[in-house]
């Protein structure tokens, strides 16, 4: 179903209806149709379409996922402010109800589009497709997509992003990776945020990293604090290394 | 709850296939939901009841396969069963695994009248 344009599942399509199978009539008069199709196929096709769009324009797309309150919006505010003039940014904010996060991004002077997911607990490729249609994204830019705060559902829905950034904060348990393995498995980089609070909480950074790498040995991990600024340079360097600027 | 999105995806996919075959109801549906697919079965059952209401699947008999998790160790080539994505290789303790079964999320077949 299309939460963005309010269309039903059969009213409009962005992909061709390939894969429709012809049933085989049984002597009972019933028909058996062999389907063998992935349930997420529709989303995956639209995600690939988004990915092609981004790659064709050299837009670095990042899908930010976390539990509520880990610091996704704060990290964006810092990044957009600190790298202003160095990189071109745009933001899609996924939120279940309010426009608070979009307002915070807007205040940094960055172009932002809000997707209200209502009851939906994740963004999907279809929503991103429609959001992007209205955005006039610049080539050679960076697009941040802040997903709905939840480490379960967004794991299953590819948006067409180049990088999936999972954010956890030290006020959460250091066993977070073990509790939400799918998200850590599908992410490419993990931010451990709020390290300024480490003296006050019982969070073992090494343990969290070890758990995360058990699930995903290739995961990059950056520890930082949006409040004190510690570690932000490492994040900015990583970000810049992913942007393929034209020479 | 993404299980509801998944059920709606199944209804959508099955409806298209049934329509393409000139049917207006579905008698049976065969699904494959792997043990590592990220679907919580209690939520799925709940979502199923809601999602099929007034659809062609409303009275369908559902057959569910649950392939177990299986991985191949990238380092030593051992194939072994896994319950969790963070299980390690029983042979070399490695964590670089390629999942070969358990991630399935599929509509396999339909029976139409
Ligand atoms: N102490 C501390 N607080 C932080 C840090 N980063 C974010 N916060 C606070 O955490 C709360 C939630 O942040 P927010 O960015 O809204 O989280 P989101 O739900 O992931 O977007 C806010 O009150 C932030 O001020 C940090 O590095 N250190
Ligand atoms: Mg936020
Ligand atoms: Zn649409
Ligand atoms: Zn959910
Ligand atoms: Zn091994």
How many other C-beta atoms lie within 10 A of the C-beta of residue A107? 12
Q: Which helix (H) or strand (E) holds A56?
A: helix A41-56
Token output for A89: 């940014």
For chain A, how many helices (H) and strands (E)? 8, 9
Residue A180, exposed/middle/buried by CB under 10 A (0-12, 13-18, 19+)? Answer: buried
Pick the residue from chain B with its C-alpha nearest to A28. B113
Contacts of B106 in chain A (CB under 8 A): 36-39
Q: Could you tell me the distance, in angstroms and rounded to a whole number, from the CA of residue B88 to the centre of ligand 5?
A: 8
Pocket of ligand 1 contains residue A196 by CB under 6 Å: yes
- State the smallest CA–CA distance between residue A71 and chain B in angstroms: 22
Q: Kindly indicate the confidence band of residue A246, based on its pLDDT and cuts at 50, 70 and 90.
A: low
Q: Kindly indicate the confidence band of residue A10, based on its pLDDT and cuts at 50, 70 and 90.
A: very low
Return the SS3 of A102.
Answer: helix
A181 to B85: CB separation less than 8 angstroms, yes or no? yes
The domains of chain A are located at: 26-242
Give the C-alpha separation, B8 to A195, whole Å: 41
- Determine the pLDDT at residue A1: 42
Model pLDDT for residues A196-236, shown as the tens digit of each residue: 999 999 999 999 999 999 999 999 999 999 999 999 999 99
Q: Could you tell me the distance, in angstroms and rounded to a whole number, from the CA of residue A103 to the centre of ligand 3?
A: 25
Which region, left, alpha or beta, applies to residue B38 given φ > 0 means left and ψ of -120 to 50 means alpha?
A: left
Q: Could you tell me the distance, in angstroms and rounded to a whole number, from the CA of residue A74 to the centre of ligand 1?
A: 6
Interface membership of B103 toward A (CB under 8 Å): no
Least confident of A23-32, A70-79, A179-188: A23-32
Of A231, A203, A188, the closest CA to residue A64 belongs to A188
Residue nearest to atom 3 of ligand 1 (CA): A194
Q: Is the CB of residue A214 less than 8 Å from the CB of residue B97?
A: no
Interface membership of A55 toward B (CB under 8 Å): no
Return the SS3 of A159.
Answer: coil
Q: Which residues contact A51 (CB under 8 A, 6 or more apart)?
A: A61, A160, A161, A162
Length, in residues, of chain B: 113
Contacts of B108 in chain A (CB under 8 A): 34-36
Q: Kindly indicate the confidence band of residue B1, based on its pLDDT and cuts at 50, 70 and 90.
A: low
Work out the mean pLDDT of chain A and round it to a whole number. 91
Model pLDDT for residues B73-94, shown as the tens digit of each residue: 999 999 999 999 999 999 999 9
Task: Choose between B1 and A225: higher pLDDT.
Answer: A225
Task: Tell me: pLDDT of B43 over 80.
Answer: yes
Strands of B70-73's sheet in order across: B79-81, B70-73, B97-101
Report the DSSP beta bridge partners of residue B63.
B30
Q: Rounded to two decimals, what is the model's pTM?
A: 0.91
- Determine the pLDDT at residue A19: 75
A10 to B15: CB separation less than 8 angstroms, yes or no? yes
The terminus-to-terminus CA distance of chain A in angstroms comes to 42
> In this structure, what DSSP letter does residue A156 have?
G
Mean pLDDT of A43-61: 97
Model pLDDT for residues A80-120, shown as the tens digit of each residue: 999 999 999 999 999 877 889 999 999 999 999 999 888 78
- Determine the pLDDT at residue A3: 43
Give the C-alpha separation, A215 to A170, whole Å: 19
CATH number assigned to the domain covering A26-242: 3.40.50.300
- Determine the pLDDT at residue B6: 93
| Structure ipTM | 0.90
- Determine the pLDDT at residue A36: 96
- State the smallest CA–CA distance between residue A188 and chain B in angstroms: 14
> In this structure, what DSSP letter does residue A84 have?
B
Interface membership of B72 toward A (CB under 8 Å): no
Give the C-alpha separation, B113 to A187, whole Å: 44
B9 to A40: CB separation less than 8 angstroms, yes or no? yes
Give the C-alpha separation, A92 to A102, whole Å: 8
From A155, A181, A214, residue closest to B88, measured CB to CB? A214
Q: Could you tell me the distance, in angstroms and rounded to a whole number, from the CA of residue B32 to the centre of ligand 3?
A: 27
Task: Choose between A58 and A95: higher pLDDT.
Answer: A58
Q: Kindly indicate the confidence band of residue B27, based on its pLDDT and cuts at 50, 70 and 90.
A: very high
- Determine the pLDDT at residue A16: 55
Cα torsion angle, B84, B90, B91, B95, sign: positive
Q: Which domains does chain B have, with CATH numbers?
A: 2-69+101-111 (3.30.2320.50)
Token output for A80: 């957009």
Distances A27 to A32, A141, A152, B113 between C-alpha atoms, Å: 11, 60, 45, 12
Chain A segment 107-166 residues within 8 A of B by beta carbon are 120-122, 124, 152-153, 155-157
Q: Is the CB of residue A58 less than 8 Å from the CB of residue A244?
A: yes
Q: Could you tell me the distance, in angstroms and rounded to a whole number, from the CA of residue A204 to the centre of ligand 2?
A: 25
Pick the residue from chain A with its C-alpha nearest to B99. A185
How many other C-beta atoms lie within 10 A of the C-beta of residue A170? 24
Pick from A91, A226, A231 the residue to mutate for probing ligand 1's pocket: most ligand atoms within 8 Å of its CB: A226
The single residue listed with the structure tokens 């993990």 is A190
Q: Which residues contact B67 (CB under 8 A, 6 or more apart)?
A: B32, B34, B35, B101, B102, B104
Interface membership of A16 toward B (CB under 8 Å): no
Cα torsion angle, A166, A170, A175, A176, sign: negative
Task: Tell me: pLDDT of A2 over 70.
Answer: no
Which of B85, B98, B106 is the best mutation test for A, with the most CBs of A within 10 A? B85
């Amino acid at each position: 179903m299309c939460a963005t344009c309010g269309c039903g599942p059969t009213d409009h399509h962005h992909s061709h209806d390939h894969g429709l199978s012809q049933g085989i009539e049984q002597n009972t008069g019933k028909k058996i149709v062999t389907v063998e199709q992935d349930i997420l196929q529709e989303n995956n096709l639209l995600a690939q379409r988004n990915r092609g769009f981004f790659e064709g324009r050299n837009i670095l797309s990042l899908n930010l996922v976390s539990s509520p309150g880990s610091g996704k919006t704060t990290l964006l505010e810092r990044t957009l402010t600190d790298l202003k003039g160095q990189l071109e940014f745009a933001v899609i904010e996924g939120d279940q109800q309010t426009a608070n996060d979009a307002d915070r991004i807007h205040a940094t002077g960055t172009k932002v589009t809000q997707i209200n997911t209502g009851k939906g607990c994740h963004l999907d490729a279809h929503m991103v497709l429609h959001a992007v249609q209205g955005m006039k994204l610049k080539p050679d830019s960076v697009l941040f997509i802040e997903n709905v705060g939840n480490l379960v559902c967004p794991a299953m829905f590819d948006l067409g992003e180049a990088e999936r950034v999972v954010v956890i904060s030290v006020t959460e348990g250091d066993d977070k990776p073990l509790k939400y393995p799918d998200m850590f498995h599908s992410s490419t980089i993990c931010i451990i945020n709020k390290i300024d609070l480490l003296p006050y909480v019982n969070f073992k950074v090494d343990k969290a990293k070890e758990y995360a790498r058990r699930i995903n040995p290739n995961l990059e991990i950056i520890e930082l604090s949006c409040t004190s600024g510690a570690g932000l340079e490492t994040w900015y360097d990583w970000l810049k290394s992913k942007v393929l600027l034209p020479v | 709850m993404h299980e509801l999105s998944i059920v709606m995806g199944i209804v959508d996919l099955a409806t298209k296939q049934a329509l393409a075959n000139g049917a207006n109801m579905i008698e049976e549906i065969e699904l494959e939901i792997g043990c590592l697919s990220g679907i919580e079965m209690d939520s799925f059952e709940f979502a199923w009841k809601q999602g099929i209401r007034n659809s062609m699947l409303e009275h369908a008999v559902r057959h569910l396969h649950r392939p177990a998790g299986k991985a191949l160790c990238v380092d030593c080539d051992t194939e072994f069963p896994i319950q969790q994505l963070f299980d390690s290789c029983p042979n070399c303790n490695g964590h670089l695994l390629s999942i070969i079964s358990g991630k399935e999320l599929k509509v396999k077949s339909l029976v139409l009248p």
